[in-house]
Amino acid sequence: MPSTNLEIGQQVFGGDVVGVVNENALFTDHKIMIEPGVQGTLKTLPVAGNFNVTETLCVVETSKGERNIRLAHFWPVRRPRPCLEKLQATQPLLTGQRVLDALYPSTLGGTCAIPGAFGCGKTCISQALSKYSNSDCVVYVGCGERGNEMAEVLEEFPALTTQVNGEGPELSIMLRTCLVANTSNMPVAAREASIYTGITLSEYFRDMGKDVAMMADSTSRWAEALREISGRLAEMPADQGFPAHLGSKLAQFYERAGKVTCCGSPDRNGSISIVGAVSPPGGDFSDPVTAATLEIVQVFWGLDKKLAQRKHFPSVNWNISHSAYDKVLIDYFNGQDADFATYKKTIKTILQLENDLIEIVQLVGKDSLGEDQKATLKVADIIKEEFLQQNAFSLYDCTCPLIKTIGMMKVICAFYDQCKKAVTENTSSGKPLTMAYIESNFGAKLIKEITEMKFIMPNVPEAEIAAQLDSLAGRIVDGFRAAMNE
């Protein structure tokens, strides 16, 4: 369909939309744009009809002669596509992974790295993000990893469905996904090409005003390709044989992320979020690629081999991970629940306290702890087992809507507050309760209900999820009050 507001003789610039193609039911507006850099007057108007990508849609008279505008155009992949302005991102990239959304959120337009040893779950997280994140469009680059992972993607993705704005028919997520496949048995130099192709595709969709998420699994394989190419060019090697320009190459790649005002009319904003998996050999984060990546990215989801060995998945280590977007996103999250910041702080504090307490327990045993410290340990266990762990292969936990994440945080914090109160304040019988009493008496049923929160299915309507979890938080408060007054 051509745009309606065009006239012959009108000035057009790179980025101006001259028409749209209905790509599929999920991606309804594939915009046809004047190529970046072209400027001139419209000589012929685009007309509706069937075109292939090489046929001329309309003609622009430029200072260098006539330019045919087609459905497709060429762009050198190493050069970032232009934008008008870079903007501060304020919306979160919701991943559907509790540990990431609650503790280490990224923005639409953010840069994230997932470093982790082999088998820690980098590919699982990247795929979960491609399946369930709140972006309009996903570009998944399999770069130098095993071929059967790409085959899995091809098998799994078409079977998964989503809805437009939560309504209408179920549509395959494949309709919004672009795959750039490059497996470990392909020529090494092609890894370089696949990364740049991926980011240029992302920029192309961003220029249409879309929120694009790009996954690159794994950027370490690309860095190895750089090492090999630079070796052949007889360049001076730096740390571990990687080229001295490794850091700047990585930075140039990640800098192409971000939220922008796109060129051309109509006015529109788009964003690219980059999630790059990094596979340091042996899981050693001091390797040059990981170290260079960590200096660039704003969000760091560090995967931990020990957690993965214990089958704690996603194995995001809460002691080393961090997000620099906490501040810009806090307004969004507090808008979802006014107490969100408090819940988050409580959960982080409990996990930190647990670290110190575990050392004491290992030295002198659990009996030496005070009752409030036992409460902290108990709740830390609940957080780790029920909240942070999320089995990507289960129906109930393959993704977690934000409302469920926040509800679970609320319940856990309510339980923690009540436990602390019960073991420090006197009950009507004149003595505080003990954790052992709580866990073996009235608390047992509550704890069981807390461990069952995760079984709420992600497709249950939001209001119902909130109501169920609110009611549980209420029952916890009531249960403790009754026990204190006995």
Ligand X SMILES: Nc1ncnc2c1ncn2[C@@H]1O[C@H](COP(=O)(O)OP(=O)(O)O)[C@@H](O)[C@H]1O
455: partner contacted, choices ligand X, Mg ion, none (Cβ within 5-8 A by kind): none
Pick between residue 179 and residue 466 the one whose CB is nearest to Mg ion: 179
- 340 within 8 A of 333, measured Cβ to Cβ: yes
Residue that is written with structure tokens 């991970």 in the block: 321
Q: In the range 311-370, which residues lie near ligand X by CB under 6 A?
A: 313-314
121: partner contacted, choices Mg ion, ligand X, none (Cβ within 5-8 A by kind): ligand X
Q: Is 470 exposed, middle or buried (0-12, 13-18, 19+ CB in 10 A)?
A: middle
314: partner contacted, choices Mg ion, ligand X, none (Cβ within 5-8 A by kind): ligand X
> Closest Cα to residue 279, out of 89, 168, 144, 373?
144
**Is residue 315 within the footprint of Mg ion (CB under 5 A)?**
no
Residue of the chain from 336, 349, 391, 426 that contacts ligand X (CB under 6 A): 391
> Closest Cα to residue 138, out of 126, 125, 150, 149?
126
Pick between residue 124 and residue 223 the one whose CB is nearest to ligand X: 124
Q: Three-class SS of residue 80?
A: coil
Count of residues touching ligand X (by CB under 6 A):
14
Residue 298 to residue 312: CA distance in whole angstroms: 25
**Is residue 307 within the footprint of ligand X (CB under 6 A)?**
no
- 415 within 8 A of 382, measured Cβ to Cβ: yes
Element (H, E) at 149: helix 147-156
Pick between residue 145 and residue 371 the one whose CB is nearest to Mg ion: 145
Give the number of C-alpha atoms closer than 13 A to the C-alpha of residue 73, restricted to the C-beta side.
19
CB of 393 to ligand X, least distance (A): 5
**Is residue 121 within the footprint of ligand X (CB under 6 A)?**
yes
Q: Which stretch binds ligand X (CB under 6 A): 58-66, 83-91, 116-124, 227-235?
A: 116-124
**Is residue 124 within the footprint of ligand X (CB under 6 A)?**
yes
461: partner contacted, choices Mg ion, ligand X, none (Cβ within 5-8 A by kind): none
CB of 285 to ligand X, least distance (A): 14
Residue of the chain from 33, 350, 392, 409 that contacts ligand X (CB under 6 A): 392
Using H for helix, E for strand and C for coil, what is the string for 238-295?
CHHHCECCHHHHHHHHHCCCEEEECCCCCCCEEEEEEEEEECCHHHCCCCHHHHHHHH
CB of 402 to ligand X, least distance (A): 18
Q: Which stretch binds Mg ion (CB under 5 A): 123-131, 203-211, 336-344, 399-407?
A: 123-131
Which pair of tokens denotes residue 71?
A: 């459905």
**Is residue 116 within the footprint of ligand X (CB under 6 A)?**
yes
Residue nearest to ligand X according to CB distances in the complex? 121
Pick between residue 184 and residue 252 the one whose CB is nearest to Mg ion: 184
CB of 184 to Mg ion, least distance (A): 11
DSSP 31: E
Residue of the chain from 1, 118, 452, 471 that contacts ligand X (CB under 6 A): 118
**Is residue 301 within the footprint of ligand X (CB under 6 A)?**
no
- 455 within 8 A of 392, measured Cβ to Cβ: no
> Closest Cα to residue 36, out of 8, 7, 68, 73?
73
Residue of the chain from 97, 123, 269, 399 that contacts Mg ion (CB under 5 A): 123
**Is residue 119 within the footprint of ligand X (CB under 6 A)?**
yes
The residues, ordered by sequence, that sit 6+ positions from 302 with a Cβ below 8 Å of its Cβ are 115, 116, 285, 316, 317, 320, 321
118: partner contacted, choices Mg ion, ligand X, none (Cβ within 5-8 A by kind): ligand X
Which pair of tokens denotes residue 177?
A: 């996904």
Which residues of this chain interact with ligand X, rule CB under 6 A? 116, 118-124, 313-314, 390-393
